[in-house]
Amino acid sequence: MAARLSSTLGCWSQRCRGVGAAVPWSLAPRVQGARVRPMYKSAGDLAGTRVKVVDLRSDTVTQPCAEMRRAMAEAEVGDDVYGEDPTVNKLQHRAAQIFGTEAALFVTSGTMGNLIPVMCHCRAGGAEILVGDQSHMYIYEQGASAKIAGVLARPVRTRGDGCLDLQDLESKIQHGYPDAHFAETRLICLENTHNRMGGRVLPLSYLREVRHLADRYGLQIHLDGARLFNAAHALGVEPAQIVQFCDTVSLCVSKGLGAPVGALLGGRAQFVADARRVRKLLGGGMRQAGVLAAAAVVALNRAEENVISDHRNTKAFSEGVQTLASPLCTTDPSTVDSNIVLLTLDGRLPGQELCDRLVNVTPLELESGQGVSVRAHALSASCVRVVWHRDISALDTQLALRKLSDVLQTYTAEQSCRVTLPCRGLGKLR
């Protein structure tokens, strides 16, 4: 394996070194004034060419593996709205064991797995939830708590490590209810691992503190555990040791775990019975859902091994970026807890341009027969996110790092050439 990795990488590295070092080639058009940017081919134009695509945009891009597809084809099914789908029942039983909760429910998505608890915990009118201002629930779910549940979402300051600021959290709890001015605070929502904060993991001691706070004010806690297995592995504990501090939890099987669809919601038996009704209301009663549940069972069985290798690859990449020592693009491996890396840009190379350059494959790469196209996600002009999942190998990780290195070197060379070019012709322009 090691020999295969080094021989394959060697092949790619020759090509890559060619691109990185071939400054005169990439700059020639600019110097001659014929074109201002080197000519690239975008990933969209690459059908039929030998290009390796390394998709790090998100861990939602995974493809169901052969084992999942086989399990789906062979799944025993029934009408799950009647509770008669044996594969869904098996999945839910397994999920409840993993969570350490009385029961669990298979739902269509992480978004539904976050909305249902809001609707169940906030049945009385005029309720509100306290939610992180950088959380998925607050930013990326279309304000569903307000739009669909009729529940106010009050944002709480999120620290760089993904934890909610406890002082801010406590100060936001409404003491005034039932004074007619105030909504009633019912629910605290946490996210572990924290997506926007770069996959940061909330420590158990912090979760315990939030539990104490919630108990003091009679509040419930919902955990958006879309990446619960990543959090558990990073903390070196079982998922149930995280969930014990929460009333309800959601977990996505369609992210790094690789199933095509679905999430699991855990909690007490009465909560899950209520959640089942709300799921139907939202159009999430899925009938012969065992076809999907079968893939989710495989995802759960394989979760631990996948997460281990994802975290290893993520760490290797972040350390590799640090070794590149480019001021253009940096990351701090000590803040990489799980399967997400946030690349910080120093302002010269904007996030979207870095992503475009990573995706694009130069004609020289194509000629060599081994182009690499890396997909990443620009969160802002100064931040690009890359995410690991079960479809990304150690070799893919090295190729992605090499591509990043080439892009940064080429960009640096272009910029320094631009600065040192003689300003011929300026007089005429005046």
228 or 401: whose CB is closer to ligand PLP? 228
Can you tell me which of 55, 128, 224, 274 binds ligand PLP, judged by CB under 6 A?
224
- Determine the residue with CB nearest ligand PLP: 110
Mode of pairing for the β-strands spanning 329-330 and 340-345: antiparallel
**Residue 248 near ligand PLP by CB under 6 A:** no
Taking CB under 6 A as the binding criterion, the range among 61-69, 103-111, 350-358, 392-400 that sits at the site for ligand PLP is 103-111
Among 13, 109, 244, 330, binds ligand PLP (CB under 6 A): 109
Cα distances (Å, whole numbers) of residue 391 to 30, 58, 63? 38, 11, 7
Give 374-377's long-range contacts (Cβ < 8 A, gap of 24+): 374/53, 374/54, 374/56, 374/399, 374/400, 374/403, 374/404, 375/43, 375/53, 375/54, 375/55, 375/56, 375/57, 376/56, 376/57, 376/343, 377/56, 377/57, 377/58
Among 254, 370, 373, 397, binds ligand PLP (CB under 6 A): 254
Nearer to ligand PLP, 198 or 371 (CB): 198
When asked if residue 121 is in the footprint of ligand PLP (CB under 6 A), the reply is no
Q: How far is the CB of 39 from ligand PLP (least distance, A)?
A: 35
Show contacts of 398-401: CB within 8 Å, 24+ apart: 398/5, 398/9, 398/316, 398/320, 399/9, 399/12, 399/52, 399/54, 399/372, 399/374, 400/54, 400/56, 400/317, 400/372, 400/374, 401/316, 401/317, 401/320, 401/321, 401/324
Give the nearest distance from C-beta 171 to ligand PLP in angstroms. Answer: 25
Under the criterion CB under 6 A, does residue 220 sit at the interface with ligand PLP?
Answer: no
Would you say 60 or 167 has its CB closer to ligand PLP? 60
Binding span for ligand PLP by CB under 6 A among 14-22, 106-114, 152-160, 289-297: 106-114
Q: Which one of 62, 87, 92, 111 is in contact with ligand PLP (CB under 6 A)? A: 111
Instruction: Tell me which residues touch ligand PLP (CB under 6 A).
Output: 60, 109-111, 114, 136, 191, 195, 224, 226, 252, 254, 263
